[in-house]
Structure formats: structure tokens, C-alpha cells
Amino acid sequence: MPILTDVFPLVETGEALRLVQTNRHIGKVGVLGLAPEEGTGVTDPAARERIGEPRLTSWRRYATTTAAV
């Protein structure tokens, strides 16, 4: 199963698309539509604790870009 490896803010959707078009990504490429920044997807503190921070962010080690978000 592919994992999310790259995240782009909405204003950089074109860059995200180019990454996919040129096959320069490893897993899934995400675009932040409503979230202001990475890490705001799971906002419930109890859920974040239960899931664990390492599981929520472990996919970033596979990032092929260092998109500034």
C-alpha cells in the first residue's frame, strides 16, 4: 500500500502535480486543502496520544521533497 510521502500547501498544487507527472515521488502526494499546515489532521489530543506521534509522522522520512508548509 503506498504511503503519503509529500505534502504541499494549496497554493503549490501545480508543483505537486509536476512531481507526479515527472514521476519524482515515491508514495502518495498530498495537497493541504483546508489544513493550514502539516500535523493538524488529527486535532483530538486523546486520538493523537492513542495513535502516537511517531505513527502520525513516520511517513515523512520517505519524502522526496522538502516542501515548505
pTM exceeding the 0.75 threshold for the entire prediction:
no
- pLDDT truncated to tens, each residue of the chain (69 aa)? 567 788 899 999 999 999 999 998 888 898 988 778 877 777 889 998 998 888 877 777 777 665 544
The pLDDT of residue 64 is: 67
Backbone angles phi, psi at 40, to 5 degrees: -105, 10
Which cell goes with 1? 500500500
In the numeric block, the cell 493538524 is attached to 40
